[in-house]
Amino acid sequence: MNQQPVKVLLIGFGNPGRLDDGLGPALAAQVERLGLPGVTVESDYQLCLEDAEAVARHDVVIFADADASGADPFSFRPIEPARSLSFSTHSLRPEAVLDLARQLFGARTEGYILGIRGYAFNEYGESLTAQGRANLAAALAFIERVCRQGSFAQFAADVEKGVRSLLPERPEGCFAQKTPDPFLPRQDSSSGEAVVVASGT
Amino acid sequence: MVASLSNGMKKIVIEPVTRVEGHGKVTILLDEKQQVVQTRLHIVEFRGFERFIQGRPFWEVPVLVQRLCGICPVSHHLAAAKAMDRIVGGEKLTPTAEKIRRLMHYGQMFQSHALHFFHLCSPDLLFGFDADVAIRNVIGVAAKYPDLAVQGVMMRKYGQEVIKATAGKKIHGTGAIPGGVNKNLSVQERDVFLKDIDQMVVWSRGALKIAKDYTTQNLQKLAPFGSFDSNHMALVRGDGAMDLYDGNLRAIDAQGNRIFDQIDCQKYVDYIAEEVRPWSYMKFPFIKSLGPEGGWYRVGPLARINAVDFIDTPEAEAERKQFMAVTNGKPNNLTMAYHWARMIELLHAIEKIKALLNDRDLQGTDLVVKGERREEAVGMIEAPRGTLIHHYRVNKQDQVVMANLIVSTTHNNEPMNRAVQKVAKDYLSGVEITEGLLNHVEVAIRAYDPCLSCATHALGRMPLTVELLDHEGRVLDVKSRG
């Protein structure tokens, strides 16, 4: 019996101009570079109505977002469609997107939230914190594994038991970038230090 | 939330204002007889982009400013690009560059207006202002009117795809660059959009009909709802036509008399000033010649339809005439008429998109021009919510040394506050306050489709301050954080 390959949609969302709030788009950019088979990558500032239509065209959707207070380095959990009334702006919560996909397009898409722990959100800057970058790398390695193996529910359950047990060993220099990444900090040529563009008072 | 105060007054706080972008807070002060004494719409979201931009190379700005707002990044992208066109002396774009930008802008207008109507406004219109909050939302619309909800999703998606094709991507679009664009539209890309364009026109007509029928059938109820006479301001083309991408400034009064007309955008500071009020982080723009008391004005779809002489697409023009006929050709000052006006613009935008898609200039290869370098420039555009002003100075080292942004929602600050006050006094005085009644206040705010997240410009963690005043202006309580 031929099995259709699982179609996965990863949506990384957040504002890259607000430091670690850009973790979701940063993950999306890096996953896209991996070119994982069967994985479609989208990136936006926030979730909105049309995401429901895109979700409905996939078997699995992973909403990747920065998490201000979640597990370190990241959490991964299944979500159910929900008529969330808490969406208060033009943007929607992942559960509401899933619900719209179900209601409007008859979708039965499995939904997951990948929450990458971030630490700085209240200032302006196009950089990620050092710990945020480390968490991003861990989340990327995890997403690569889970997408290649395809057992999302099992992974989510395993993460629930203890995320660190699922993390691969981190090779030396695993955060090094071969090509400039618009979401990572600009390097000050004189000091080599990451430049934080704006700071608060 | 309703809190009783020690002097017998009551303060009502609505926070956040649901279904508007960013975060807003309304305070309503009641006296001991439950009469509304004072209302204020506060902007509590903090933005500091003007300082964020300083020191950056000017060519980065059209990309950077998109982070101002997750809802209208394209408007900021294009307004900044228009300013930087002048910095590089390239404001006279090639036909391909200008048409690609216009396509991007009409795509933005189309998706933004569709989103507002189907997601934010239609629950109020379809279920009633005081319907159960559990169904008065887009999920409720999806459950009861699934076809309509699907249309909203697909129209939004269509506009977003137009943006993606012209700006390069939905996030961090790079399509507009100083002096032009960095890509054209391929025949293959064009054909994808042409395939669905007629369906989009049909759905736009349908959305417009809902807004028009709702307004005309409920005119008696809507006429006083949050309404007041006001000035109106918009960009207009040299011949007086609606032009959402470019033009000169026109302001009219509540009767349609011209206050100023065909003002070069570069000279806006001679005509518009901003007033600071101690209780708000958002400024209050006004027409200089009239002063802050009488010089405030509205922008956005209602102001544009009122201000222009005509629309240069046939279906939208026919609809504009019907709109203006309701007020015998005079400006329409009904706050709730914003929705009808917005849907006329939705139809106009899709008519424009259709015309542009059939224009071979989109496949041209002459994309960028440059000329004499300047150090100061203004870029102005009619964003979905109204006139958007980007003003920059750039030094000889190509660094931005000054940025001043006046966003659409800031222009509408005074009108929104007046709308809140009018509705609060009309509906909340002397009665038991219910959620449905409080929603009336939010309905008035939503008519303007405010995007509060990019409307304030203080840098630093914003201290949130709540001031409580009695009817003589005495401070009863102050709470701050941050």
> Do residues A28 and A42 touch, judged by C-beta distance below 8 A?
yes
Structural domain includes residue A3: no
Burial bucket for residue B217 (CB in 10 Å: 0-12, 13-18, 19+): exposed
Residue B460 phi, psi (nearest 5) = 110, 160
**Residue B444 reports pLDDT greater than 80:** yes
The larger pLDDT score, comparing residue B4 to residue A151, is at: A151
CA distance A98 to B52: 36
Q: Which of A47, A49, A98 to mutate to test the interface with B (most CBs of B within 10 A)?
A: A49
Q: Which of B51, B63, B113, B139 to mutate to test the interface with A (most CBs of A within 10 A)?
A: B139
CA distance B187 to B194: 10
> Do residues A41 and A28 touch, judged by C-beta distance below 8 A?
yes
Structural domain includes residue A172: no
Does any CB of chain B come closer than 8 Å to the CB of residue A83?
yes
CA distance B205 to A117: 45
β-bridge pairing B231-236 and B297-298: parallel
Report the pLDDT value the prediction gives residue B70, as an integer from 0 to 100: 66
Q: Give residue B255's region: left, alpha or beta (phi > 0; psi -120 to 50).
A: alpha
Q: What is the mean pLDDT of chain B?
A: 87
Q: Does A103 contact B146 at a Cβ distance shorter than 8 Å? A: yes
Does any CB of chain A come closer than 8 Å to the CB of residue B22?
yes
Q: How many beta-carbon contacts under 8 Å exist across A and B? A: 99
Q: Which of B43, B56, B67 to mutate to test the interface with A (most CBs of A within 10 A)?
A: B67
Report the pLDDT value the prediction gives residue B301, as an integer from 0 to 100: 98
SS (H, E, C) chain B: CEEECCCCCEEEEECCCCCCECCEEEEEEECCCCCEEEEEEEECCCCCHHHHHCCCEHHHHHHHHHHHCCCCHHHHHHHHHHHHHHHCCCCCCCHHHHHHHHHHHHHHHHHHHHHHHHHHHHHHHHHCCCCCCCCCCHHHHHHHCHHHHHHHHHHHHHHHHHHHHHHCCCCCCCCEECCEECCCCCHHHHHHHHHHHHHHHHHHHHHHHHHHHHHHHCHHHHCCCCCCCCEEEEEECCCCEECCCCCEEEEECCCCCEEEEEECHHHHHHCEEEECCCCCCCCEEEEHHHHHHHCCEECCHHHHHHHCCECCCHHHHHHHHHHHHCCCCCCCCCCCHHHHHHHHHHHHHHHHHHHHHCCHHHHCCCCECCCCCCCEEEEEEEECCEEEEEEEEECCCCEEEEEEEECHHHHCHHHHHHHHHHHHHHHCCCCCCCHHHHHHHHHHHHCCCCEHHHCCCCCCCCCEEEEEECCCCCEEEEEEEC
The larger pLDDT score, comparing residue B369 to residue A16, is at: B369
Token pair for A172: 């030396």
Q: Reduced to 3 states, what is the DSSP secondary structure of residue A11?
A: strand
Q: Residues 150 to 189 of B: which have CB under 8 A from any A CB?
A: 150, 152-154, 156-157, 160, 169-172
pLDDT of A148-162, one tens digit each? 988 788 877 877 776
**Residue B272 reports pLDDT greater than 80:** yes
Nearest by CB: A83 against B52, B119, B139: B139
Number of structural domains, chain A? 1
Q: Which chain B residues are closer than 8 Å to A10 by Cβ?
A: none
Nearest by CB: B156 against A43, A50, A197: A50
Q: Does A50 contact B48 at a Cβ distance shorter than 8 Å? A: no
**Residue A58 reports pLDDT greater than 60:** yes
Average pLDDT of span B400-426: 92
Nearest CA in chain B to A47: B70
pLDDT of B170-189, one tens digit each? 767 899 999 999 999 999 99
CA distance A191 to A180: 18
**Residue B467 reports pLDDT greater than 50:** no
pLDDT of B46-62, one tens digit each? 456 777 888 999 999 99
Residue A112 phi, psi (nearest 5) = -140, 150
* Least Cα separation, residue A104 to chain B (angstroms): 6
Report the pLDDT value the prediction gives residue B12, as an integer from 0 to 100: 60
Report the pLDDT value the prediction gives residue A177, as an integer from 0 to 100: 34
Q: Does B138 contact A197 at a Cβ distance shorter than 8 Å? A: no
**Residue B249 reports pLDDT greater than 80:** yes
Nearest CA in chain A to B120: A90
Q: Does B138 contact A100 at a Cβ distance shorter than 8 Å? A: yes
Q: Does A200 contact B459 at a Cβ distance shorter than 8 Å? A: yes
| Closest residue by Cα to residue B269 from B176, B392, B356 | B392
**Comparing B175-179, B185-189, B292-296, B452-456, which segment has the lowest mean pLDDT?**
B452-456
Q: Which chain B residues are closer than 8 Å to A44 by Cβ?
A: 70, 170-171
Q: Which chain A residues are closer than 8 Å to B119 by Cβ?
A: 49, 90
CA distance B419 to B319: 26
* Least Cα separation, residue B408 to chain A (angstroms): 16
Nearest by CB: A91 against B52, B70, B149: B70
* Least Cα separation, residue A10 to chain B (angstroms): 15
Q: Which chain B residues are closer than 8 Å to A182 by Cβ?
A: 172
Q: Which chain B residues are closer than 8 Å to A105 by Cβ?
A: 150
| Closest residue by Cα to residue B164 from B151, B149, B183 | B183
Report the pLDDT value the prediction gives residue B10, as an integer from 0 to 100: 64
Nearest by CB: A49 against B21, B152, B170: B152
Domain that holds residue A139: 8-166+177-195
Nearest by CB: B52 against A83, A104, A197: A197
**Comparing B24-28, B93-97, B335-339, which segment has the lowest mean pLDDT?**
B24-28
CA distance A119 to A117: 7
* Local confidence band at B31 (pLDDT 50, 70, 90 cut-offs): confident
Average pLDDT of span A181-190: 36
* Local confidence band at B255 (pLDDT 50, 70, 90 cut-offs): very high
- CATH for A78: 3.40.50.1450
The larger pLDDT score, comparing residue B68 to residue B261, is at: B261
Q: What is the mean pLDDT of chain A?
A: 77
Nearest by CB: B115 against A44, A49, A198: A49
What is the dihedral angle through the alpha carbons of A158, A159, A160, A165, rounded to the nearest 10 degrees? 80
The larger pLDDT score, comparing residue B131 to residue B157, is at: B157
* Local confidence band at B129 (pLDDT 50, 70, 90 cut-offs): confident
**Residue A189 reports pLDDT greater than 50:** no
Nearest CA in chain A to B149: A104
Structural domain includes residue A119: yes
* Least Cα separation, residue B202 to chain A (angstroms): 19
Average pLDDT of span B291-320: 98
The larger pLDDT score, comparing residue B405 to residue B271, is at: B271
* Local confidence band at B478 (pLDDT 50, 70, 90 cut-offs): very low
Q: Does B153 contact A50 at a Cβ distance shorter than 8 Å? A: yes
Q: Does B149 contact A43 at a Cβ distance shorter than 8 Å? A: no
Angle at B288 between CA B285 and CA B290, to 5 degrees: 100
Contacts (Cβ under 8 Å, ≥6 apart) of A55 = A9, A61, A97, A98, A101, A107, A109, A111
H or E element in which residue A9 lies: strand A8-13
Contacts (Cβ under 8 Å, ≥6 apart) of A150 = A6
Burial bucket for residue B3 (CB in 10 Å: 0-12, 13-18, 19+): exposed
* Least Cα separation, residue A13 to chain B (angstroms): 10
Q: Does A49 contact B133 at a Cβ distance shorter than 8 Å? A: no
Nearest by CB: B67 against A16, A88, A200: A16
Structural domain includes residue A1: no
Contacts (Cβ under 8 Å, ≥6 apart) of B350 = B106, B110, B197, B200, B201, B204
**Residue B283 reports pLDDT greater than 70:** yes
Nearest CA in chain B to A197: B52
pLDDT of B323-349, one tens digit each? 999 999 999 999 999 999 999 999 999
Q: Residues 12 to 71 of A: which have CB under 8 A from any B CB?
A: 15-18, 25, 42-46, 48-50, 52-53
pLDDT of A73-118, one tens digit each? 999 999 999 876 543 445 678 998 999 999 899 999 999 999 999 9
Share of chain B above pLDDT 70, in %: 86
The larger pLDDT score, comparing residue A126 to residue B419, is at: B419
CA distance B64 to B392: 14
Report the pLDDT value the prediction gives residue A157, as an integer from 0 to 100: 80
The larger pLDDT score, comparing residue B373 to residue B50, is at: B373
H or E element in which residue A40 lies: strand A39-44
Does any CB of chain A come closer than 8 Å to the CB of residue B67?
yes
Q: In angstroms, what is the C-alpha Rg of chain B?
A: 22
Report the pLDDT value the prediction gives residue B83, as an integer from 0 to 100: 98
Q: Which chain A residues are closer than 8 Å to B70 by Cβ?
A: 15, 44-46, 90-91
| Maximal C-alpha separation, chain A | 63
**Residue A188 reports pLDDT greater than 60:** no
Average pLDDT of span B233-254: 98
* Local confidence band at B8 (pLDDT 50, 70, 90 cut-offs): low
Q: Which chain A residues are closer than 8 Å to B20 by Cβ?
A: 89
Report the pLDDT value the prediction gives residue A92, as an integer from 0 to 100: 78
Report the pLDDT value the prediction gives residue A93, as an integer from 0 to 100: 85
Nearest by CB: A17 against B67, B120, B134: B67
Q: Does B51 contact A15 at a Cβ distance shorter than 8 Å? A: no
Does any CB of chain B come closer than 8 Å to the CB of residue A1?
no
Q: Does B133 contact A85 at a Cβ distance shorter than 8 Å? A: yes
H or E element in which residue A113 lies: strand A110-117
β-bridge pairing A39-44 and B272-275: unpaired
